[in-house]
A = this chain, B = another copy of it.
Amino acid sequence: MGKSKNKKTAARPRKPKLIFRFGEKTDGDGTQTSLLGGKGANLAEMARIGLPVPPGFTLTTEVYNLYHENGRTLPDDLYRDVRDSVGALEAQTGRRFGDAGNPLLLSVRSGARSSMPGMMDTILNLGLNDETVQGLARETGDSRFARDCYRRFIQMYGDVVMGVRPNDDHSEDPFDEILGEARTRAGVDTDADLDAEALDELIGKYKTLIKRITGLPFPQDVWEQLREAIGSVFASWESERAVVYRRKYNIPRQWGTAVNVQAMVFGNRGNRSGTGVAFTRNPATGEKSLYGEYLLNAQGEDVVAGIRTPKAIAELAKDMPAVHRQLEKLSRKLERHFRDLQDFEFTIEDDRLHMLQTRNGKRTGLAAVKVATDMVKERLINSTTALMRIPADSISTLLTPVFGRDGVRNVKVIATGLPAGPGAASGKIVFSSREAERLGRKGEKVILCRHETSPEDIHGMLAAEGILTARGGVSSHAALVARQLGKVCVAGASGIQIDYAKREMRADDVRLKEGDTISIDGTSGEVFEGELDTEPSEVIQVIRGKGDPAASGPYQAFNRVMRWSDRARRLGVRANADTPEQAREAVALGAEGIGLCRTEHMFFHEKRLEYVREMILAPSAGVRERALKRLAKFQRSDFVELLRTLDNLPLTVRLLDPPLHEFLPAHDTPDGTLAARLGLSNQALAQRLRDLHEQNPMLGHRGCRLGITFPEITEMQARALFEAVVTVRKEYGLKPKPEVMIPLVGFPGEFRHQAEIVRRIAAEIGKQAGLNLECPIGTMIEIPRAAIVAEELARDASFFSFGTNDLTQTTLGMSRDDSATFLAPYEKLDIIARNPFATLDTAGVGFLVEMAVKRGRKGRSDLKLGICGEHGGDPDSIRFFHRIGLDYVSCAPHRIPVARLAAAQAALEDSSTARDSG
């Protein structure tokens, strides 16, 4: 119908462009990461700005979807386009794919939108077979080299495409096993020392292995190789380790991956060749200097896999000075162009440098802060960009304890490796990821010790406190992933010998078994026997007034980021703190007040606990009165100290919350002295203790239920607070800002009952002192019913504070203490994406929070809204709290900087000025 025959004017639906070339002619650019993946886009961008990139082409992420919809095979017409693109490569390189005379070899590599290092598969030297290997040998005049390429290709192809790989953590790679035997037979130390004959024999054995395990021959058809390899790389997007990684980093499955096919260059062509990985700045510390490592006569994976320990990049200046100079120049060019720390791969083939990849480098928290602040100083980026560059969680690495130098003096350093993930970690030695996971689930601290880690180890690395490897450098898998996970890591500690079978390791004549404790210092690279004491980090020391702020680089960087954050954020940040010490630290870290003071924590000191027990168990009003009076004295002086520490910042006091039996001795073993003090028989006390036992204390007699059944406790707490307020006003001339918070409210009558007591006591003490002691009285929202009746609650309460820990427990019907047994399987089965006690379950709990906000504001337009559950220190949760319009978050003191930064990022994301303007 009306189909125009005039081709010039007809608007025909254009086939979307599915293959982008780079090299002599480049189709894409660096902005197209969602289509070309990070690797493909940056290869295109490097080609555009004239960097030496071997030619190639990218199959876009849309191809992934076609592949997926087409029953996980490449559609035929698309495959024809692949052949055309290979043809273009042949034209550029003057070689022919599958040609026995002058063969073109290819690499096939994944390239997701967001870099997922080591999570997906790569195949090098594709295009080799029994014929082309001869051609390569003839053409290069290097028969050993050609065979080395071929054996590498068979191994990678066998693993990635044909599935020939170790069965579990404890088995060795079957190809590596054969390779090891070959080295032994030849009596050489490294693979590079195997001669052509030995390699020939190896190739034969590899082929036999593949045939034995898969029942299929290793394919000789290079086009079949290519098609299968592309499919396998696409398929690796769905591999278990990729799925785990995506979940951890919230990468949507639908993004898919691109695939890059590129002409090979060879770092394994002798000693004027090599391959390496470099960072434009140090990714562990952020220092501004070219950093990385290389291996001569090696191919890409050799460096990363940690099989041979590579050399530091500085040594290249001696090995190949011109190439080193060229690298430095390229590095500066890359940073100026990409305006971020770059992590790039290069290959040197016969003195010629080729760039194989560049990407924004993963970095430690320390490095993230330093690089971001340095780049602002260097005017490469502005402060907004700098803020968005620092993962909020990572700022806390500047605050985590380090091994005290005093401690170090007294223990034995048993090995030293590369400082790949800064920080201090102690824990039990485990040799497998499975064991790390098992113990980690029980809450035990473990150090995962491996020859080297592989992508399969991701679970274990997540579960461990720290990672120690015997082989591999700072760009090895272990180092790379540890850096990204914020794990302490010492890599390539070559003094260590691990025996997986015996479950032990030896280092410096010390024999350590699985379960023994070691400590690793990821900042110095040292490994210690036993557990070490830690001391506060440099930033904390400065904050505490020890050391000169101006002289501390880390403190300066920290301080700068915090200043920018405070300028950008809308959310207030308060601390959950119960003691003057905590309050002092919190204020030093930037808290704008205390959002949650758990008064019960004041009761847990030994002497006080006695009175608390007397109060609870009192057989007469007299005994209870006496106990309460004594407690009031303690509590009053605690409040005086807290209020003095806070100066004029607000102090939110939560009334007694936990179930009473938390204060009591075990119910079946009453204490004789307690009975005597109470004037009760042992038997009567035992009975009373049994009566107080609860089936489900979390849902029992606690929170305001205590204050309602024992109003004298609420009275005592209110009295202690307001008397303290009078003291600091009169004696210290301060203007304290107390706020009282009623816990576990579900019924408006509960709130009114408790608020009435607090107001009455405030009026009473205010009258005596001649002061107006009226103060905001608010409620926790921590059970679903409170969220539902929020409008009515808000008519009486002047603020809400969301207790998201309990609200999560009740909304999900899930006890935090008891959930480990099923939450771990739930994460594996993809029933839940993330631990709801760490990151707010926005669809469930978040719904109630948002509803309470809306209903609460309806009941009182100036209602103040905060959150004081542990989610208050979690960046993703903070983003949600910002979005729904809370006024502040309150979190543990050491999370205050994280919260300030996360709140800033949430505000910047929210505003249109959040664009990267660097």
Residues on A lying within 8 angstroms of B by beta carbon are 694-701, 705, 708-709, 744, 746-747, 749-750, 753, 782-785, 788-789, 806, 809-815, 817-819, 821-822, 825-826, 829-832, 841, 843-845, 847-848
Contact status A829-B698, CB under 8 Å: no
Contact status B818-A696, CB under 8 Å: yes
Q: Chain B CB within 10 Å — which of A698, A699, A811, A845 has the most?
A: A699
Closest residue to A706 on the B side, CB-wise? B822
User: Other than the known A695-B818, A784-B812, what 12 A-B pairs have Cβ atoms closer than 8 Å?
Assistant: A695-B697, A695-B815, A696-B698, A699-B809, A700-B819, A701-B821, A708-B822, A708-B826, A753-B831, A783-B811, A784-B813, A785-B844
Closest residue to A792 on the B side, CB-wise? B843
**Given A708-B822, A749-B829, A832-B747, A788-B847 contact (CB < 8 Å):** yes
For the complex formed, measure the closest distance between the CB of A821 and the CB atoms of chain B, giving whole angstroms.
5
Closest residue to A695 on the B side, CB-wise? B817
Contact status B694-A818, CB under 8 Å: yes
Name the one of B700, B746, B814 contacting A746, with C-beta atoms under 8 angstroms.
B814
Name the one of B744, B782, B784, B814 contacting A848, with C-beta atoms under 8 angstroms.
B784
Name the one of B811, B815, B841 contacting A700, with C-beta atoms under 8 angstroms.
B815
Contacts of A744 in B (CB 8 A): 813
Contacts of A749 in B (CB 8 A): 826, 829-832
Contact status A815-B694, CB under 8 Å: yes
For the complex formed, measure the closest distance between the CB of A172 and the CB atoms of chain B, giving whole angstroms.
28
For the complex formed, measure the closest distance between the CB of A661 and the CB atoms of chain B, giving whole angstroms.
11
Contact status B697-A822, CB under 8 Å: no
CA distance A825 to B705 in the complex (A): 10
For the complex formed, measure the closest distance between the CB of A833 and the CB atoms of chain B, giving whole angstroms.
10
Contacts of A785 in B (CB 8 A): 811-813, 841, 844-845
For the complex formed, measure the closest distance between the CB of A813 and the CB atoms of chain B, giving whole angstroms.
3
Contact status B848-A815, CB under 8 Å: no
CA distance A844 to B817 in the complex (A): 26
Secondary structure call for the A interface: helix
Contact status B701-A818, CB under 8 Å: yes
Contact status A696-B815, CB under 8 Å: yes
Name the one of B695, B705, B810, B831 contacting A811, with C-beta atoms under 8 angstroms.
B810
* 4 A-B pairs with least C-beta separation: A783-B813, A749-B831, A699-B815, A700-B818
**Given A809-B699, A832-B747, A843-B784 contact (CB < 8 Å):** no
Contacts of A699 in B (CB 8 A): 696, 698-699, 809, 813-815, 818
Q: Chain B CB within 10 Å — which of A696, A753, A829, A848 has the most?
A: A696
Contacts of A782 in B (CB 8 A): 813
For the complex formed, measure the closest distance between the CB of A155 and the CB atoms of chain B, giving whole angstroms.
35
Contacts of A844 in B (CB 8 A): 746, 784-785, 788-789
CA distance A841 to B749 in the complex (A): 14
Contact status A822-B696, CB under 8 Å: no
CA distance A782 to B814 in the complex (A): 12
CA distance A699 to B810 in the complex (A): 8
CA distance A523 to B826 in the complex (A): 58
Q: Chain B CB within 10 Å — which of A705, A783, A826 has the most?
A: A705
Contact status B806-A813, CB under 8 Å: yes
For the complex formed, measure the closest distance between the CB of A417 and the CB atoms of chain B, giving whole angstroms.
37
Contacts of A829 in B (CB 8 A): 708, 749, 753
CA distance A830 to B747 in the complex (A): 10
CA distance A467 to B63 in the complex (A): 82
**Given A810-B813, A813-B699, A815-B700, A709-B789 contact (CB < 8 Å):** no
Name the one of B696, B705, B747, B832 contacting A697, with C-beta atoms under 8 angstroms.
B696
22 contacts between A and B (CB under 8 A): A694-B818, A695-B815, A696-B817, A696-B818, A699-B815, A700-B818, A701-B818, A705-B822, A708-B831, A746-B812, A749-B830, A749-B831, A749-B832, A750-B826, A784-B812, A785-B813, A785-B841, A785-B845, A788-B811, A789-B843, A789-B844, A810-B810
CA distance A746 to B808 in the complex (A): 12
CA distance A875 to B862 in the complex (A): 41
Contact status A822-B695, CB under 8 Å: no
CA distance A785 to B698 in the complex (A): 18
Contacts of A696 in B (CB 8 A): 696-699, 815, 817-818
CA distance A817 to B701 in the complex (A): 11
Name the one of B700, B784, B788, B831 contacting A747, with C-beta atoms under 8 angstroms.
B831
Contacts of A812 in B (CB 8 A): 746, 783-785
Contacts of A705 in B (CB 8 A): 822
Closest residue to A745 on the B side, CB-wise? B813
Contacts of A843 in B (CB 8 A): 788-789
Closest residue to A841 on the B side, CB-wise? B785
CA distance A782 to B811 in the complex (A): 10
**Given A708-B831, A749-B829, A750-B831, A701-B813 contact (CB < 8 Å):** no
Contacts of A814 in B (CB 8 A): 699, 746
For the complex formed, measure the closest distance between the CB of A175 and the CB atoms of chain B, giving whole angstroms.
33
CA distance A809 to B700 in the complex (A): 10
CA distance A814 to B703 in the complex (A): 11
Contacts of A841 in B (CB 8 A): 785
For the complex formed, measure the closest distance between the CB of A610 and the CB atoms of chain B, giving whole angstroms.
23
For the complex formed, measure the closest distance between the CB of A781 and the CB atoms of chain B, giving whole angstroms.
11
CA distance A345 to B825 in the complex (A): 72
Contact status B825-A709, CB under 8 Å: yes
Closest residue to A830 on the B side, CB-wise? B749
Contacts of A810 in B (CB 8 A): 784, 810-811, 813
For the complex formed, measure the closest distance between the CB of A743 and the CB atoms of chain B, giving whole angstroms.
11
